[in-house]
Structure 1
Amino acid sequence: MGVKHGREYEHILKELTDAVGRIPDSYLFFEMEADEWARLGGEERAEVQEALAEDLFYALGEEPVIPVGSGVVIHDRNHYRIDVLIGEEELTFVSLV
């Protein structure tokens, strides 16, 4: 189902892709090993990050907190945004409206 949003999905997806790309070990979400990630080229990594962002967008509609590698992605329904954190530090957020 995904999260409710007022912005164009394409813009949200791009920003979410960039945001999860800031999690250094986000590839763990797909149960990849570090050496597998290291062997991917830049375009392949971008495709994996976009697939991750799409999966998260839809999953956050059902599960508001999802661990991604050493980070966590949170659907903040009260502020209409998706937060991306590592530990207690907020890396960034993606506005849904």
Structure 2
Amino acid sequence: MGVKHGREYNDILQDLIQALGKIPDRYIFFEMEEEDWARLGEKDRLEVDEALAEDLFYALGSEKMISVGSGVVIHDQELHRLNILIGDDELDFVSLI
């Protein structure tokens, strides 16, 4: 189902890809090893990041918070945004409206 949103899906997806890129070990979400991630070219990494963003967008429709490597993505329904954090530090957020 995905999260409720007022912005264009593709715009949200692109912003989410950018924000997730700030989590250095995001590949762990797909149970990849660091060596496997390091061997991927830029195009392949972008494809993994796109898949991650799409998976999170839909999963956050039913889950409030999802771990991504050392980070976490939280759906804030009141502020209509996705918060990307590592520990207590907010790395970025993606507006849904």
TM bucket (normalised to shorter chain) is over 0.9
- Asked if residue 56 in structure 1 is aligned to residue 20 in structure 2, the reply is no
2:86 equivalent in structure 1: 86
What secondary structure is seen at the aligned counterpart in 2 of 1:67?
Answer: strand
Mapping of residues 12-27 of structure 1, within 5 Å: 12-27=12-27
What secondary structure is seen at the aligned counterpart in 1 of 2:84?
Answer: strand
Cα separation, 2, equivalents of 1:63 and 1:96? 16
Q: CA RMSD in A?
A: 0.3
Runs (4+) off by over 6 Å: none
- Asked if residue 41 in structure 1 is aligned to residue 53 in structure 2, the reply is no
* Aligned-residue offset at 1:21: 1.0
Cα separation, 2, equivalents of 1:64 and 1:14? 21
Deviations 1:39-81 (A, max 9, x none): 0000000010010000000000010100000000000000000
Give the count of matched residue pairs. 97
Structure 2: segments with no counterpart, 5+ residues: none
What secondary structure is seen at the aligned counterpart in 1 of 2:35?
Answer: helix
What secondary structure is seen at the aligned counterpart in 2 of 1:15?
Answer: helix
Q: TM-score, normalised by structure 1?
A: 0.99
